[in-house]
Structure 1
Amino acid sequence: MLITDDFLPIPVPESLSATYLVPMAGLPRVSPKTAVRALEGRLAEPVHGLATQMLDSPLMTVDTRSIDEFPQLPPDLLAAFGATEAQLGRLAAASHLVVVQAEYRPGWPPAHEWAARAVAAAVAESVDGDVVDVFGLQFLDPAAALRSLPDAEGRVRLVDWVLVPYSSDAEGLWFTTKGLRRFGLLELQTQGVPDHLTRAWGAVMTGAARRLLRDWTDGLAGEEVPAFVQLPVLATVTGHDIAVAYGNPEQHGATAPVLLRLELDPATDPEADSFLSLRPPPGHPGPPGKYFAAACATLFSGIQPDVRYARPGDAMSKAIATARAGLDDIRARFLAGTLPPESQLVVKYGLPGDEGPEFVWAGVTSWEVPERLVGASASDANTDPTVRIGSPVVVEAADVVDWALLDGTGVIEGGWTQAVLDAGEPPTA
């Protein structure tokens, strides 16, 4: 294997395993094979055939155990990863667990995960129960588990297999992935992410996971499993990577790629996980958070950070009026916490300049009084040297000309002025 400064050798495990549980009160009603046969016609190939074949092979085991024989699942962690009170209640009332385990070589397809999840979903459906993904510590209802499996064209949404939890520390937010080890790859992490990029950076991490997973599985495509796979030290992430990871390839825009430097952070504790860290590329000046903010501005380019015009034309005037008419409502939804999940509210406002106002975007962090909001700038302003990416800004509501809700795929609501610009109707001077 050739080792260069351009690639990072990542060790490949000899085999991978998947474990799923089906809690139930009493014993199973049907055999696993019968449960899987009931999915015929509903589960795309090759997954249905794969599950059937692995059930007949030593690569998969399905055991029914008394729940007392299995280590207790932590309800607090299950709740943190989305378990409902009803699901936790069914787990507490269960007397038995059906344990589905599968093993397979690293590479694509991940037969151990697809087959084990399919069998567990079939068994859970037969008793109107739940699936517990032990790796992700997640409850899945059978329908959601089946939807996460490949469609007729072999496509999956990576967000159904990889989570992106985060926590806060003195340097900002610490993001990690949880799910890449299913495929043999080390988990990713990013440290020092600005607080206002919570949702946006989660989407970037998911897109980066998609890109690196593709490189990883390409390196495992041969007949023999290699000892190492070389990943590029400078990884690229695009809006297309993010859109595909979320299952919306048709929504991606032609965004410029963003460079991220990959570093191996081996664990010092043998019981802990090693990580692949995502950092700014070499030579980037300033704190990492500034680069991460600029990366988000590039990837979510449906909202342009720096727009100028002198006198708005009719289309732009209507767009501004529409946006301003909805300010009270969007503020109320922001304060009530009823915005769509994984979305971020941003506003566009004007800064005075010699050539007319400069309009920039900022992510809203608080909006206690109607007349004024606090946010974090999404760009560097040309007219005001104090307005820099990630810097805190106080915006008068009277200066706001537009607002938008963003998620991992771009604008999901609002953005009227940007729509006018994207439609090729620039305001008249």
Structure 2
Amino acid sequence: MLITDDFLPVPVPESLSATYLVPMAGLPRVSPKTAVRALQGRLARPVHGLATQMLDSPLMSVDTRSIDEFPQLPPDLLTAFGATEAQLGRLAAASHLVVVQAEYRPGWPPAHEWAARAVAAAVAESVDGDVVDVFGLQFLDPATALRSLPDEHGRVRLVDWVLVPYSSDAEGLWFTTKGLRRFGLLELQTQGVPDHLTRAWGAVMTGAARRLLRDWTDGLAGEEVPAFVQLPVLATVTGHDIAVAYGNPEQHGATAPVLLRLELDPATDPEADSFLSLRPPPGHPGPDGKYFAAACATLFSGIQPDVRYARSGDAMSRAVATARAGLDGIRARFLAGQLPPESQLVVKYGLPGDEGPEYVWAGVTSWEAPERIVGASASDANTDPTVRIGSPVVVESTDVVDWALLDGTGVIEGGWTQAVLDAGERPRPSH
């Protein structure tokens, strides 16, 4: 095996396994095969076929056990990963667990995960129950579990399979991923992230996971499973990686790439996990957090909030009127898929504040009803702590003051209010 300064050899496990649980009061109503047959036409054919084949193979087992035979699931951790009181209540009332386990070789597709989650979701649906993903310590309702499975083209949203928890310490925020081990890859971590980058760095970590997972599975594409896969020491992350990881490939997020250095951080405790650490590239001056902030600014560029207010009759009012007059047209083009390649549609809208509105941008993800836009915030708001980079937002069309198409170079169409601000015609706040 060739080892160079440009690549990091990462060990490959011999096999991978997935475990899902279905808590229930009493015994299953139907067999797993019958439950899976009921999903025909609702699951992508390749996934339905995979689940059916693995059920008939020694690679999968489905057992019903008394709940007393299974180690107790920690309710505090389940709650931390999103469990509701109703879900925990159903678990406490359960007398049995259906245990779905599958095993497969490392590589793509991860048949053990796809098939085990599909079978567990089918069984849970047959009893109006829940799925417990043992790896992620997460409850999934059957509909959510089924939506997370691949479409006809084998595509998934990585955010449905990889979580990005974080905690705080004296040096800032410590981010890790939880889910890459499903695919045989070590989990990622970043330390020393500034506190104000909570949402933004979570998105960057998800984009980095998507890029490295692609490199990882490319290295496993041969017939023989190698002992190591060599990952690039300098990994690139782009807005496209983030968009695809969140299931919005049509919003390519064309941005300049950000470089991150990959370091192997082996565990000293044999019971603990090793990590791949994301660090600034060599030669970066100053603390790591400064580089992480600059990386976020690059990946979420050109759409900063502003707290400036237009007076009637001035250049800003004309800019807002121009933007609003074009809303119907840009919506029609968005819905028809007629926007320029590698572009992203963003809208600017007002959030109420003590001294007047704060104007922030959001990337448009859907716009089915003319009066309501669904999107993801493209900036952190000062006036509303719930509006952070990447957070979902619903915008009333009547609140929109501007729109723009962005590509890797910046604004390519629209952005009339931004042009007024950039020209220096910045009206003072009215009181």
User: Which consecutive unaligned segments of at least 5 residues does structure 2 have?
Assistant: none
Contact 2:254 2:343 in 1 (8 A): no
- 1:313 and 1:161, CA in 2 relative to 1: closer, same or farther beyond 3 A? farther
Question: 3-state SS of the aligned residue for 2:401?
Answer: strand
Deviation of the 1:253 alpha carbon: 2.5
Distance 1:6 1:95, change over 3 A: same
Aligned residues of 1:303 and 1:411 also touching (Cα < 8 A) = no
User: What is the match of residue 127 of structure 1?
Assistant: 127
Measure how far apart 1:422 and its partner are: 11
Over 2 Å off, 4+ runs = 304-425
- Seen in structure 2, the aligned counterparts of structure 1 residues 398 and 11 have a Cα distance that, compared at 3 Å, is same
Offset at residue 221 of structure 1 (A): 0.1
The change in CA–CA distance for 1:314 and 1:45 in structure 2 (over 3 A counts) is: farther
Q: What is the SS of the residue equivalent to 1:92?
A: helix
Shift of 1:154: 1.0
Q: Secondary structure at the match of 2:139?
A: strand
C-alpha deviations, 1:141-198, integer Å up to 9, x for none? 0000000000111110000000000000000000000000000000000000000000
What is the DSSP-based 3-state SS (H/G/I as helix, E as strand, rest coil) of the residue aligned with 1:58? coil
Residues 373, 149 of structure 1: alpha-carbon distance in 2 compared, 3 angstrom cutoff: closer
Q: What's the offset of the Cα at 1:53? A: 0.5
Shift of 1:359: 13
Q: Do 2:251 and 2:342's aligned partners in 1 also have CA atoms closer than 8 Å?
A: no
Question: Is the contact between residue 168 and residue 174 of structure 2 (CA under 8 Å) also seen in structure 1?
Answer: yes
Answer with 192-201 or 349-358: which moved more.
349-358
Q: Which moved more, 1:414-423 or 1:364-373?
A: 364-373
Cα shift at 1:417: 3.5
CA gap 1:254/1:371 in 2 versus in 1, 3 angstroms: closer
Structure 1's 8 and 367: CA in aligned 2 closer, same or farther, altered over 3 A? Answer: same
Shift of 1:252: 2.2
How has the CA–CA distance of structure 1 residues 421 and 251 changed in structure 2, closer, same or farther, with 3 Å as cutoff?
farther
Describe the shift of the 1:59–1:91 C-alpha distance in structure 2 as closer, same or farther (beyond 3 A).
same
In the aligned structure 1, how far is the partner of 2:264 from the partner of 2:240?
Answer: 25
Q: Is the 8 A contact 1:200 1:408 kept in 2?
A: no
Range moving further from structure 2, 315-324 or 129-138: 315-324
Query: What TM-score does the superposition give when structure 1 sets the normalisation length?
Result: 0.76
- Bigger mean CA deviation after superposition, 192-201 or 379-388: 379-388
Query: CA contact under 8 A between 1:347 and 1:402: conserved in structure 2?
Result: yes
The CA deviation at 1:25 is 0.1
- TM-superposed CA distance for 1:303, in Å, is 1.4
Kindly tell me: are residues 345 and 264 of structure 1, through their superposed partners in 2, closer, same or farther at Cα, counting changes over 3 Å?
farther
> Secondary structure of 1:64's match?
strand
Q: Deviations over 1:11-32 (max 9, x none)?
A: 0000000000000000000000
Deviates further, 361-370 or 178-187: 361-370
Q: Work out whether residues 199 and 391 of structure 2, in 8 Å CA contact, stay in contact via their aligned partners in 1.
A: no
The answer on whether the counterparts of 1:175 and 1:191 sit within 8 Å (CA) in structure 2 is yes
Q: 2: CA distance between counterparts of 1:274 and 1:339? A: 44
Q: How far has the Cα of 1:337 moved from its partner?
A: 34
Moved more, 343-352 or 60-69: 343-352
* Structure 2 Cα separation of the partners of residues 346 and 218 of structure 1: 34
Q: Distance in 1 between matches of 2:385 and 2:33?
A: 67
**Contact 2:345/2:403, CA 8 A, preserved across alignment:** yes
> Identity, % of aligned pairs?
95
Q: In 1, Cα distance between the equivalents of 2:27 and 2:51?
A: 22
SS in 2 for 1:102: strand
CA contact (8 A) 1:196 1:376 kept: no
How far apart, in 1, do the equivalents of 2:114 and 2:263 lie?
30
Secondary structure in 2 matching 1:387 = coil
Per-residue deviation, residues 332-376 of structure 1 (Å, max 9, x unmatched): 999999999999999999999999999999999999999999999
Question: What do the CA deviations read for 1:231-268 (whole angstroms, capped 9, x no partner)?
Answer: 00000000000000000011122200000000000000
Worse-superposed segment, 60-69 or 414-423: 414-423
Greater alpha carbon shift after TM alignment, 337-346 vs 264-273: 337-346
Asked if the contact 1:235–1:262 (Cα under 8 Å) also holds between the matched residues in 2, the reply is yes
* Counterparts of 2:187 and 2:79, CA distance in 1: 22
Q: CA deviation at 1:316?
A: 3.8
Uncovered stretches (5+) of structure 1, i.e. residues with no partner: none
- Secondary structure of the 1:278 match is strand
1:260–1:36 distance in 2 versus 1, CA, 3 Å: same
Q: Secondary structure at the match of 1:308?
A: coil
Go from structure 1 to structure 2 and tell me whether the alpha carbon gap of 1:151 and 1:231 turns closer, same or farther (over 3 Å shift). same
8 Å CA contact 2:22–2:132 kept in 1: the answer is: yes
Higher mean displacement: 98-107 or 347-356: 347-356
Rounded Cα–Cα distance in structure 1 between residues aligned with 2:357 and 2:33: 68
1:71: Cα distance to partner? 0.3
Please give the alpha-carbon distance, in whole angstroms, between the structure 1 residues aligned to 2:215 and 2:135: 23
Cα distance, 1:421–1:22 mapped onto 2, change above 3 Å: farther
**Residue pair 2:164, 2:176 contacting (<8 A) in 1 also:** yes
Per the alignment, do residues 322 and 131 of structure 1 end up closer, same or farther by CA in structure 2, a change over 3 Å counting? farther
Conservation of the 8 A alpha-carbon contact between 2:371 and 2:397: yes
The 1:411/1:116 distance shift into structure 2, 3 A limit, reads: farther
Q: Is the 8 A contact 1:162 1:178 kept in 2?
A: yes
Going from structure 1 to structure 2, the CA distance change for 1:305 and 1:332 (only over 3 Å counts) comes to same
- 8 A Cα contact 1:124 1:130, kept in partner: yes
Say whether the 8 Å CA contact 2:65–2:97 is kept in structure 1. Answer: yes
Specify whether residues 123 and 411 from structure 1 end up closer, same or farther in structure 2 by C-alpha distance, changes over 3 A only.
farther
Cα deviation 1:34-64 (Å, max 9, x = unaligned): 0000001111021101100100110000000
- Cα gap change, 1:106/1:420 in structure 2, threshold over 3 Å: closer, same or farther? farther
User: Normalization by structure 2: what TM-score?
Assistant: 0.76
Corresponding residue SS for 1:128: coil
Question: Are 2:164 and 2:202, in contact at CA under 8 Å, matched by a contact in 1?
Answer: yes
- How has the CA–CA distance of structure 1 residues 414 and 140 changed in structure 2, closer, same or farther, with 3 Å as cutoff? farther
Distance across 2 between alignment mates of 1:198 and 1:414: 30
